[in-house]
Amino acid sequence: MREVRTSELTEDMLGIIEYHLPGRSKDTIAWYENFTHDTVLFYDEEGRLDSMLSYFSLDFRFDTMIAMQREDKFSKRMWKILRDTLVSRVKPIRIMSDPKKKALHKAAARYGGKFYEDEVFFD
């Protein structure tokens, strides 16, 4: 799996956002267009964007992250980057997430995160 870092919104990213959020991608795309982010793109063996993990540095009390993977099965490398980011955070982080997925509740709790409706808070 090939990794690429970017702070731009690429065509590949637009494709995976629409794939992941069909018909409801407008707000997510607006985040990328309006806020500074550091994104790691993960490409599969065929050169197709498989997943991405973005960290948004905000002028708020908290920062936020967006993580997407085509089949919702994050690679070990993606989990490692996410874990390292959460463990070394300087500011609280909020991540919007699907509260129906029990594995996400377990992973969030492991790093001090708590679900409130559809967001995970890491204070």
Domains identified in the chain and CATH numbers: 2-96 (3.40.630.30)
Question: What is the pTM for the complete model shown?
Answer: 0.88
What are the backbone dihedrals phi and psi of residue 103, each rounded to the nearest 5 degrees, phi first? -65, -35
First to last CA, the chain: 32
Cα–Cα distance between 2 and 115 in angstroms, integer?
32
Residues 76-98 have pLDDT tens digits of 898 899 889 988 888 999 988 76
- For 18-75, the pLDDT digits (tens) are 998 898 899 999 999 999 999 999 999 999 999 999 999 999 999 999 988 888 788 8
User: How many Å apart are CA 66 and CA 43, to the nearest integer?
Assistant: 17
